[in-house]
Amino acid sequence: MRRFVVVVVVFCFLVFGQFAKAEVIWTSGLESGDFSDWTSASGNWKLVNNSPGAHSGTYRASTEGASSSNGDILLLEKSTVSYKNLQWSYWWKVNEALEDPDHVFVEWSDNGGADWQVLADYTKLPANSWQYASFDLPEVADNNLLCQFRFRAVLQHASDVMSFDDVSLLTAVPEPHFLFLFLPIFVCILCKRKTK
Ligand SMILES: [Ca+2]
Ligand SMILES: [Ca+2]
């Protein structure tokens, strides 16, 4: 009987537990002082070295207008092979207000940049303090050789300025399967039966 209980517990843990730990696949706090953590940075993306103005350390990535016609792009090409439950997270700050025609898009692609999905569209925002954002990516991002991420600025004037810092690609912590919550009850019932 005891052996049976142990087998049931192990089985339930393996099937329903999913107590995976969060793991950082890639991260950039921009502290290298260049965009070497990234695939490329075009147009007006620059690194600003100013301790009180960064979210962490002294550097932040910043973009200002006027952007080029296709937008100024900070790009990361990153395979997610062998990872799942992915999460894209970063800190953002509007330094100088964005008006109606101003946008900074946060986008990702599951097919090497052929198509892009918008995660966030920052527009019509006053200057603010640092804010955290994170997005759980759909299953198609799992185990995908062709994942790409980008910040795309479409800003009108030099007086439109936005910054990012501490950008990360993580594996999210999955919630335990709801059946797993019944495991202690199940084990109690089995043990009670045994003692009868
Ligand atoms: Ca930083
Ligand atoms: Ca402005």
Q: Structural domain boundaries of the chain?
A: 1-19+183-196, 23-171
CA of 128 to the centre of ligand 2 (A): 13
Q: Determine which helix (DSSP H) or strand (DSSP E) holds 195, and give its type and residue range.
A: helix 183-195
The span from the CA of 21 to the CA of 84, in Å, is: 12
**Tens of pLDDT, residues 107-117:** 999 999 999 99
Closest ligand to the CA of 156: 2
With 0-12 CB in 10 A as exposed, 13-18 as middle and 19+ as buried, what is 18? Answer: middle
Label residues 61-87 b or e (16+ Cβ within 10 Å = b): bbbbbebeeebbbbbbbbebeebebbb
CA of 35 to the centre of ligand 2 (A): 25
| pLDDT reported for residue 171 | 94
Whether the per-residue pLDDT at 104 is higher than 70: the answer is: yes
**Tens of pLDDT, residues 32-71:** 999 999 999 999 999 999 989 999 999 999 999 999 999 9
CA of 126 to the centre of ligand 2 (A): 8
Whether the per-residue pLDDT at 183 is higher than 70: the answer is: no
CA of 27 to the centre of ligand 1 (A): 11
The span from the CA of 20 to the CA of 18, in Å, is: 6
The CATH code that applies to domain 23-171 is: 2.60.120.260
CA of 80 to the centre of ligand 1 (A): 24
Whether the per-residue pLDDT at 11 is higher than 90: the answer is: no
Could you tell me the CA-to-CA distances from 157 to 44, 68, 100, 126, 163 in Å, in that order? 11, 11, 12, 15, 15
| pLDDT reported for residue 18 | 53
- Give me the torsion for CA of 42, 68, 164, 86, rounded to 10°: -70
| pLDDT reported for residue 172 | 74
Asked which of 20-24, 59-63, 101-105, 166-170 is least confident by mean pLDDT, the reply is 20-24
**Tens of pLDDT, residues 121-142:** 999 999 999 999 999 999 999 9
The span from the CA of 165 to the CA of 89, in Å, is: 10
| pLDDT reported for residue 196 | 57
Whether the per-residue pLDDT at 12 is higher than 60: the answer is: no
The span from the CA of 31 to the CA of 165, in Å, is: 9
